[in-house]
Amino acid sequence: MGAVKNKRMPRAVREQQMLDAAVRTFGQRGYRAASMDEIADLAGVSKPLVYLYLNSKEDLFTACIRREAAALTAAVRAGVHPGLPADRQLWEGLRAFFTHTAQNPDGWAVLHLQARTHGEPFAAEVTAMREELVAFVTQLIAVAAREAHRDPSPAERAEHEVAGLAEALVGAAESLAAWANTTPGVSAKQAAATLMNFAWAGLGNLMDGRAWAPPKS
């Protein structure tokens, strides 16, 4: 059990314990495979108390998503120092992202895998978080453009193009993170550097209009 049982505690504390247990269980087993029994056990409380405080499995899952999403965006924002040059800011943001997700694998699994895998009450919650991160990156790109004395036109690119880049970045980051974790001799920092290398030049080219041109076929 994750906590001493049967000790009276204020509601707020118990709720956090429940969310801790739920994030861990949902992250490892998946939404459907996770059982309320296991979550209650892990939280060190009886099932009815979980229902009293969190209402239903669906609500509990939603609460997990919200808490983890808030924690992640907060971590990324906290890692970035606004005064720095744009590339440095991106670097810091990526590092914060990697660090947070590495330290919260279950939370990240909840956000990235479970919430997206299970239908509509949940996916929307993640979309909101994702939009916040995309907005953050978009703004960084604009800053970078200004620094390079380029005209701000890139900011006018179709919204879904930027969203696509963000998707690609996140996908690459996840992939690298998993790879770094399972490949001896590769540190998290090196993985972040690889990603920066992969991404930064491409972003720069895009902003210069020097895009790779697909063949006309």
Residues lying near DNA in the complex (CB under 7 A) are found at 5-11, 14, 32-37, 45-49, 51-52, 56-58
Locate 207 and state its tokens. 């902003």
Tokens encoding 172: 């690459």
CA 206/CA 217 separation, integer angstroms? 22
Length of the chain: 217
Between residues 16 and 159, which has the closer beta carbon with respect to a copy of itself? Answer: 159
Q: How near is the Cβ of 162 to a copy of itself at its closest, in Å?
A: 10
- Look at residue 101 and give the partner it binds from DNA, a copy of itself, none, a contact being a CB closer than 5 to 8 Å depending on partner kind: none
The entry of DNA, a copy of itself, none near residue 116 (CB within 5 to 8 angstroms by kind) is a copy of itself
Q: What x-and-dash track marks residues 141-170 binding a copy of itself by CB under 8 A?
A: -------------------xx-xxx-xxxx
Which range, of 66-74, 99-107, 147-155, 176-184, touches a copy of itself by CB under 8 A?
176-184
Q: Is 88 in the site for a copy of itself (CB under 8 A)?
A: yes
Q: Are 114 and 26 in contact (CB under 8 A)?
A: yes
d(CA 65, CA 13): 18
d(CA 85, CA 31): 41
Which one, of 112, 158, 96, 166, lies nearest residue 138 by Cα? 166
Site string for a copy of itself, 91-110 (x = CB under 8 A): x-------------------
CB 61 within 8 A of CB 69: no
From the list 104, 26, 96, the residue with the least C-alpha distance to 61 is 26
144 contact choice in a copy of itself, DNA, none (CB below 5 to 8 Å, kind-dependent): none
Closest CB to a copy of itself among 31 and 61?
31
Q: Three-state SS for 115?
A: helix
Tokens of 28: 């490892």
Under 8 Å between Cβ of 53 and 11: yes
Q: Does 171 bind a copy of itself (CB under 8 A)?
A: yes
Residues making contact with a copy of itself (CB under 8 A):
29-33, 87-88, 91, 113-114, 116-119, 160-161, 163-165, 167-176, 178-180, 183, 185-186, 189-206, 210-212, 214-215
